[in-house]
Amino acid sequence: MPPNRFNGFTDYGVGIGLRIPHYQHILSRRPVVDWFEIISENYMVDGGRPLEILNQILEQYRVIQHGVSMYFGSAEPLNREHLKRLKTLVRRTGTRWLSDHLCWGSVDGRYTHDLLPMPYTWEAVEVTAQKIRQVQDFVEVPVVVENVSSYTEFHVSEMTEWEFLTEVVERADCGILLDVNNIYVSSKNHSFDPFTYVNFVPTHRVAQIHIAGHSKFEKYILDTHDHPVLPAVWRLYARAIERCGPTATLLEWDDNIPTFDEVHAEALKATKFLKTASEASSESMATAGYPTLVREADGVGGIVSGVDQ
Amino acid sequence: MSARPPETPACPTLIREADRVGEGGNLLDIQRRMAAAVMHPLTRAETMPRRRRDGASNRAEAEAIIRPNDRLTSFERLEIYNRQYWFRLYGCFEEDFPGLQAILGRVQFDALMRAYLADCPSQSFTLRNLGSRLESWLGEHPEYIQPHVTLALDMVRLEWAHIEVFDSEEKPRLSAKNLAAVNENSTLSLQPYLRLLALSYPVEDLLLQVRNEDGSSTSSTNNASAARKRKHVRHFAALQPKPIWLAVHRLDNTVWYKPIAQEEFRLLSSLCNGQTLGQAIEAAFTDSPLSEDQRAAFLQEAFASWSMLAWFTQPPRSRGAGESHA
């Protein structure tokens, strides 16, 4: 079921990324938004405006942390300073889960600040899973890993990306942030069927889903997060929701950012898919005689009704 | 699931099997090789160079680790990451140092940026620290800021201080009771967000003008804005250098530039270095033209101002008994 141990047994609905151009609108208008996703690194600071804004957001909204530089797949050890700052922020936000990418990006203490693709090898599975476990133990909240979009493949790869993802999350016992836009982008760049990927993912580990826009170039697709979600990605999302059930969904829009209302409206297009999945899920559970969960936003969290068996 | 061999590349390659990274590879080796390619400087045309500075072939290296597809060669696939890396760093660096860019102009700034980022790649998980080594690097490479070496260095100091002040810690201010108990043997702690700069040019005025131009310009007014920036720079570069002291601080989460007197600079710097108040005052007035009466009034006014700005903070709790600390 969508509320699972990897997302703190929550049902968060549809959120959007908290971005600087929207600060003023959000703090002055207080729009109704299910939740915001923050880039952890932007708030892993000691003081000043970033934390002041975050505190104001936290007074009104639920916030989930999303990182971009933990680099679970880097061969070098974890950065202790990074971990300490991350844990401090986790305590501040009360994030119910913590996401970062299934990638690497640093080596020998030098950072590329990019989400570089993994070679899909068994060695990489072991290294990555071990580091995810270390992070999870340290921060004491569920860790979920996001599949990245990529433009290269390695000769040494011994399995497909979806097999690699599955092997890592099973060994790390962590959740998945399934980015269906990234799957679509990579499928075009590497010529695979994106539905094969979505159909393979262990649904019981999917804690959250990302949707976003991308840009098409002559010979490849770039994950630019500067467009509305394209129809092909919505179709992939529909399939993911069909398999996973109603899952916390977030729209990423990081460049050429339009007004808050435009971004939010685009994100809310996901609602119809979630509603359909929710109805199907309720019917399925009622038939099976399971209790049902309600969203925290409805005012009462947890199990509220059961069906006599 | 069982491991399976890599799919046959859709596009045949010329590389010999023996040149490839071995079966299963070595994660650290692959990451080092890819990072070396990704972080290698681009050509002037912003493409990945065929040959690296050490003479190694990027094409051969790409073919050794990257699988081609039916549209892109190994080199072209690796080049996507090489370009992304540099464009990301360029964007961040330009955003952090608009004042330096205004002083040097586009071409000279680009040359500096490429050289600095190649010599000093990021060693932090956050891009916030990208420019942390710029001042010291320029000390070893003044050729990149000729003929405005002093003006440019002043600007770099100010722009880096701005970055640090923006998100540094704010500690609780010193209570009135503790402040009243201060004596010449006291040591005083200052806010972590306070930076003290000794400059030769009023670069804070130039930076504010540059930021105003950047904030007001649109694509249709970019040329006019750039011309005004050049005019501002010419004006400041023509000034006679003279000692200027500046406190960069934060108030209501906004960064401020506060001109201060030399005596204030010396006193605050001494306190920052852990000297007692008595020692700091002595340092402040060494060679000062102020009379004794003027010094008393000066201190009263300065401390009132600094207290109002909450620059003094509560002492750390761990200090040992017997030490005098306000």
CATH of the domain at A217: 3.20.20.150
Read off the pLDDT of residues A21-30 as tens digits, 9 standing for 90 and up: 999 999 999 9
Preceding omega of B147 cis (within 30 degrees of 0): yes
Is residue B78, in this structure, part of any structural domain at all? yes
Is residue B8, in this structure, part of any structural domain at all? no
Q: Where a domain ends, among B89, B108, B125?
A: B89
CB pair distance less than 8 Å for A121 and B66: no
For the residues B135-155, what does the mean pLDDT come to?
A: 98
What is the count of structural domains for chain A? Answer: 1
Q: Which of A277-286, B118-127, B209-218 has the highest mean pLDDT?
A: B118-127
Is residue B216, in this structure, part of any structural domain at all? yes
Residues B305 and B179 reside in one and the same domain? yes
CB pair distance less than 8 Å for B125 and A82: yes
Distance (Å) from the alpha carbon of A67 to chain B's nearest alpha carbon:
10
Q: Is the pLDDT of residue B227 over 90?
A: no
For the residues A125-153, what does the mean pLDDT come to?
A: 98
pLDDT band at B221 (very low <50, low <70, confident <90, very high): low
| Distance in angstroms (rounded) separating the CA atoms of residues B181 and B325 | 9
SS3 B67: strand
Is residue B81, in this structure, part of any structural domain at all? yes
Q: Is the pLDDT of residue B318 over 80?
A: no
Which residues of B28-146 form beta strands (DSSP E)? 66-67
| CA nearest to B103, candidates B212, B232, B221 | B232
ipTM: 0.90
For the residues B235-257, what does the mean pLDDT come to?
A: 96
Q: Is the pLDDT of residue B9 over 50?
A: no
CB pair distance less than 8 Å for A114 and B88: yes
Read off the pLDDT of residues A251-307 as tens digits, 9 standing for 90 and up: 999 999 999 999 999 999 999 999 988 888 777 666 655 444 433 333 333 333 333
Is residue B97, in this structure, part of any structural domain at all? no
Mean of all residue pLDDT scores within chain A: 91
Is residue B60, in this structure, part of any structural domain at all? yes
Residues B65 and B162 reside in one and the same domain? no
Helix/strand/coil percentages in chain A, nearest 5: 45, 20, 35
Residues B50 and B155 reside in one and the same domain? no
Residues B164 and B299 reside in one and the same domain? yes
Q: What is the model's pTM?
A: 0.88
Residues B224 and B77 reside in one and the same domain? no
Read off the pLDDT of residues A178-233 as tens digits, 9 standing for 90 and up: 999 999 999 999 999 999 999 999 999 999 999 999 999 999 999 999 999 999 99
Check residue A299 and give its pLDDT: 32
Residue B225 lies in domain? 150-313
CB pair distance less than 8 Å for B128 and A46: no
Residues 206-235 (A) with a CB less than 8 A from some CB of B: 219-220, 222
Residues B83 and B156 reside in one and the same domain? no
What is the count of structural domains for chain B? Answer: 2
Residues B23 and B161 reside in one and the same domain? no
Residues B159 and B307 reside in one and the same domain? yes
Read off the pLDDT of residues B39-76 as tens digits, 9 standing for 90 and up: 999 999 999 999 999 999 999 999 999 999 999 999 99
Q: Is the CB of A110 inside 8 Å of chain B's CB atoms?
A: yes
* Cα nearest neighbour of A104 on chain B: B31
Q: Where a domain ends, among B69, B89, B109?
A: B89
Residues B171 and B308 reside in one and the same domain? yes
Residue A28 lies in domain? 5-305
Is residue B123, in this structure, part of any structural domain at all? no
Check residue A288 and give its pLDDT: 56
SS3 A309: coil
Residue B17 CB burial class (10 angstroms; 0-12, 13-18, ≥19): exposed
Is residue B124, in this structure, part of any structural domain at all? no
Chain A residues with beta carbon closer than 8 angstroms to that of B39: 110, 112
Which residues of A140-275 form beta strands (DSSP E)? 143-146, 153-154, 175-179, 206-212, 215-216, 221-222, 249-252
Residues B54 and B183 reside in one and the same domain? no
